[in-house]
Chains A and B, each alone.
Chain A
Amino acid sequence: LAKTTQPISMDSYEGQEVNITCSHNNIATNDYITWYQQFPSQGPRFIIQGYKTKVTNEVASLFIPADRKSSTLSLPRVSLSDTAVYYCLVGDGGADDKIIFGKGTRLHILP
Chain B
Amino acid sequence: ETGVTQSPTHLIKTRGQQVTLRCSSQSGHNTVSWYQQALGQGPQFIFQYYREEENGRGNFPPRFSGLQFPNYSSELNVNALELDDSALYLCASSVRGGMGNEQFFGPGTRLTVL
A residues with CB within 8 A of B: 31-34, 41-46, 49, 51, 85, 87, 89, 91-93, 95-104
Contacts and interface: CB of A to CB of B under 8 A. Distances in A.
B104 A46 contact: yes
A71 to B, nearest CB: 12
A41 B100 contact: no
Interface in B37-90: 41-45, 48, 50, 55-56, 58, 88, 90
A41 B105 contact: no
B100 A32 contact: yes
A37 B35 CA distance: 16
Residue of A41, A43, A93 ringed by the most chain B CB atoms within 10 A: A43
B110 interface: yes
B107 A93 contact: no
Interface size on B, as a range, is 20 to 34
Given A41-B88, A91-B101, A95-B55, A101 B108 contact: no
29 contacts: A32-B99, A32-B101, A41-B88, A41-B108, A42-B108, A43-B4, A43-B92, A43-B107, A44-B92, A44-B103, A49-B99, A91-B100, A92-B101, A93-B94, A93-B101, A95-B50, A95-B55, A95-B96, A96-B55, A98-B58, A99-B33, A99-B35, A99-B101, A99-B103, A100-B45, A101-B42, A101-B43, A103-B42, A104-B42
